[in-house]
Structure 1
């Protein structure tokens, strides 16, 4: 990066942090530290909810996901608006009426302590693992810029975010996220415009989309029902609904965002805002990935996007073979570029036969390019069995650092850092609140002073920061980070959601029945996930349904009278 980019990057992050800490004031009570005094307005909540979900992974991995797999990932979010409506009707008013700090407090009032503790522990496991992945995403950027191993950059990023969260609390997180999302929207819009501007003069926005469509990338909606297909309209609406309902309704990292609302109405408006904006936002981010794909049909992409792994093989005994592949790759790319230009000309001619021939020729040329690329990856594996051979997380970053103008590179990299800071800070805050309110305050040290709980909250934030850093060090082996986060969530979210659905709607079921049902269900879901029985989105629906069914079946055998919160 140039000096200008470093200045923009440093200034943007500094302004965000100072603004957030200034607006947060001093946290003197647990209520201020964990829920911001319940004083925030709907637009704060809406941006905070979006920023918590839209981590650095979103802006690094989503364009790469579209580059390699097309637009079909957007179907993942189709169940979101319906989930927001259900939350506004059911979850939000109950949480506000009970004035809870965490979602799991309600479960003790409705069931018993063991059910509250079980769901709290499930959340802590899932969110701790996922937050580690979120920390790893910006560490990738620093490792490329500084040309050092991601281990060192992961330790730096994780330590920075942990310090920021320990000092600022949830109010600093929320105010910071409001400004973060404004900058993020501006920067991503500018990036999308510049991708189109950088295309050849004969290739416009429409040409780019048509070319991507002919290459199978504009697969926005898949109507075919297939339980083994990760992304189709059915898995998105049904599986996605259960996942989003569980994520926003039972995951403390999100519940904690709208518990800061000054009223039920403000929290509801914030969630509705998220439901209306999230799908178009994700569509646009994926579309940037499609435009980058079209750009690289006319501009030579690297043989492998992760330059750290490239340098490792170039410094090994396989360097000669890899360099020979680079020469073959360049020749194959030139062939593909020629075929891409032929397809653009065919599209302009509107001759169906010519278009079909050009499309077939381009696919053959692309197949040759990908074959050489696979050979290169094979050499990386021979050199190092532990090499990270999934480079989708590096696609957009490579484009940004090589083709965007000075200043904007720094801004877009700052965006990834800001997104990471926002989502990770929210997660650490929620992990701390659940650890202190549901475990420490309820079981280990009940009846202590508020000062004691405030100190415990800060210490818990530090503890979870260290745990998440440890997970981040492993995250590089998990493939596309965007998918990895959602897969981890799908192992647990369905079970937790099932417990809450029983709590809200099946009043006759008691705590023992739902506790046993949750344990059995979680074991089944883990086995199904590990064995790959169905696509991971379906695990959310299956987990929720199994908890409900097992609870109803087991309840007659438990001599326990159900409580009503």
Structure 2
């Protein structure tokens, strides 16, 4: 990066940290540290909720996912608006009226201490691991840019977030997130405009989308009902609804955000704002990835987007083999450019027969290019069996570094940092809230003072920060980070949601039944996942439904047994 990029990056990050510390000064008790004294307006709540969900993984992996497989991932969010409505009607008023610090306090009032402890434990494991993945994403960026050790950058980035979150608690998180999202929205708009400007002079947005469509990249909607297809309308609406309902309704990282609202109305408006803006925002991020794909139809893309691994290969005994493959790749991409130009001319002329013929030729070229890429990956694995061969997360980063002007590169990288800081800070704050309120205050020191609670909230924030950084050091083995986070959530969210649904709507079921139902369901979910029997989003539906059914059956069996013994 240039000096100007470094100045933009450092100043942007410094502004955020100092702003958060300034806004969170004067915290004296656990209410201020964990809930921000419940004083925030709706737009503040809405931006905070969005920033918590939109991690660096969103801005790294989503464009790469669209580049590789098209726009279908947007369907993942189709259940979100419906989930927001259900939350506003059910969850928000209950949590506000009970004046709880965490969602899991309610479960003890409804069931028993075991159910509260189990649900809090499931949350802590899932959120602790996924936070580690969120820390790893921006570390990947800085390591790639500076060509330095990934471990060093992971420790550095994780430490920055841990420091200001440990100091300022939820007030630091919420205030910085509002500023972060403002910068992110502005930078994404600039990035989208710039990608279009970088296309050939005769290729505007409309024609670029036409070319992407002919290449199968604008497949945003798929109405087929296929349980093994990860992204369809039905998977998104049904499976996505259950995932989003569980995430926003039972995950403390989100519950903690809308509990900071000054009233039920402010919290509801914040959630509805998120429901309205999230799908368009995600669509635009994926669209940028599709436009990057179109750009590389007219320019030679890298054979492999992880430049660090390519550099290692070039310096190895396999360098001559790689050079030969690179020459083949260049020749094929030049041939493909000619075909793409024919397709563009056919689209302008409305010549359907030529369009169909060039689509077949492009498909043939892509197959050959994929074969060359596979050979390069095989060489990378030969040279280093431990090498990361999934370069999906590097696609957008590689494009930005090679094409964007000075200053804007630093701003776009700052955006990815800001997204990571926002989601990571929320997660650490929620992990500390749950550990303090549901574990420390409930099991370890029931008569703790406000000063002790505040002290242990900060200590536990620090502990979870260290835990998450440790997880981040192993995150490179997880492939596409966006999918990895959602798969991890799907292993737990269905069970957790099922517990809350039973609590809210199945009034005759007791704590013992739901406790054992949750354990059995979680075992079943892991078995299904390991056997790879179904698309991961459906695990949220299965988990929720199984908890409800098993809890009902166990409760009925328990009642029959008690009646027969009388």
Could you state the TM-score of these two structures normalised by the residue count of structure 1?
Answer: 0.98
- Give the structure 2 partner of residue 230 of structure 1: 230
Distance (Å, rounded) in 2 between the aligned partners of 1:507 and 1:481: 39
* Secondary structure in 2 matching 1:558: helix
Bigger drift between 342-351 and 109-118 goes to: 342-351
Which aligned pairs between 1:160-239 and structure 2 lie closer than 5 A? 160-239=160-239
Distance (Å, rounded) in 2 between the aligned partners of 1:413 and 1:191: 11
Bigger drift between 352-361 and 418-427 goes to: 352-361
- Give the structure 2 partner of residue 37 of structure 1: 37
- Give the structure 2 partner of residue 314 of structure 1: 314
1:44–1:174 contact (8 Å) kept in structure 2:
yes
Distance (Å, rounded) in 2 between the aligned partners of 1:277 and 1:352: 37
- CA distances 1:181-205 after superposition (whole Å, capped 9, x unpaired): 0100000110010011000112111
Tell me the CA shift for residue 442 of structure 1: 0.2
- Give the structure 2 partner of residue 425 of structure 1: 425
- Give the structure 2 partner of residue 144 of structure 1: 144
Distance (Å, rounded) in 1 between the aligned partners of 2:341 and 2:153: 41
Tell me the CA shift for residue 206 of structure 1: 1.2
Tell me the CA shift for residue 557 of structure 1: 3.3
- Give the structure 1 partner of residue 443 of structure 2: 443
CA RMSD in angstroms, aligned pairs only:
1.1
Distance (Å, rounded) in 2 between the aligned partners of 1:453 and 1:12: 33
Give the number of equivalent residue pairs: 561
1:512–1:558 contact (8 Å) kept in structure 2:
no
- Give the structure 2 partner of residue 240 of structure 1: 240
2:20–2:164 contact (8 Å) kept in structure 1:
no
Matched, 1:495 2:495: yes
Matched, 1:95 2:92: no
1:343–1:362 contact (8 Å) kept in structure 2:
no
- Give the structure 2 partner of residue 453 of structure 1: 453
Tell me the CA shift for residue 558 of structure 1: 3.4
Tell me the CA shift for residue 144 of structure 1: 1.1
Tell me the CA shift for residue 336 of structure 1: 1.3
Could you state the TM-score of these two structures normalised by the residue count of structure 2?
Answer: 0.98
Tell me the CA shift for residue 27 of structure 1: 1.6
- Give the structure 2 partner of residue 286 of structure 1: 286
* Secondary structure in 1 matching 2:35: helix
* Secondary structure in 2 matching 1:303: coil
Quickly say closer, same or farther: Cα 1:287–1:242, change in 2 above 3 A: same
Matched, 1:550 2:550: yes
1:100–1:106 contact (8 Å) kept in structure 2:
yes
* Secondary structure in 2 matching 1:305: coil
* Secondary structure in 2 matching 1:288: helix
Structure 2: segments with no counterpart, 5+ residues: none
- Give the structure 1 partner of residue 512 of structure 2: 512
Distance (Å, rounded) in 2 between the aligned partners of 1:536 and 1:278: 21
Distance (Å, rounded) in 1 between the aligned partners of 2:433 and 2:58: 25
- CA distances 1:343-393 after superposition (whole Å, capped 9, x unpaired): 111111101111111111111112111111111011111111221111110
Tell me the CA shift for residue 226 of structure 1: 0.4
- Give the structure 1 partner of residue 120 of structure 2: 120
2:339–2:361 contact (8 Å) kept in structure 1:
yes
Distance (Å, rounded) in 2 between the aligned partners of 1:31 and 1:322: 60
- CA distances 1:503-532 after superposition (whole Å, capped 9, x unpaired): 000000000000000000000001111111
Distance (Å, rounded) in 1 between the aligned partners of 2:385 and 2:523: 32
1:339–1:365 contact (8 Å) kept in structure 2:
no
- Give the structure 1 partner of residue 71 of structure 2: 71
* Secondary structure in 2 matching 1:296: helix
Distance (Å, rounded) in 1 between the aligned partners of 2:206 and 2:181: 28
Tell me the CA shift for residue 60 of structure 1: 0.6
Distance (Å, rounded) in 1 between the aligned partners of 2:25 and 2:447: 27
- CA distances 1:391-447 after superposition (whole Å, capped 9, x unpaired): 110111011111011111111000000000000000000000101100011001111
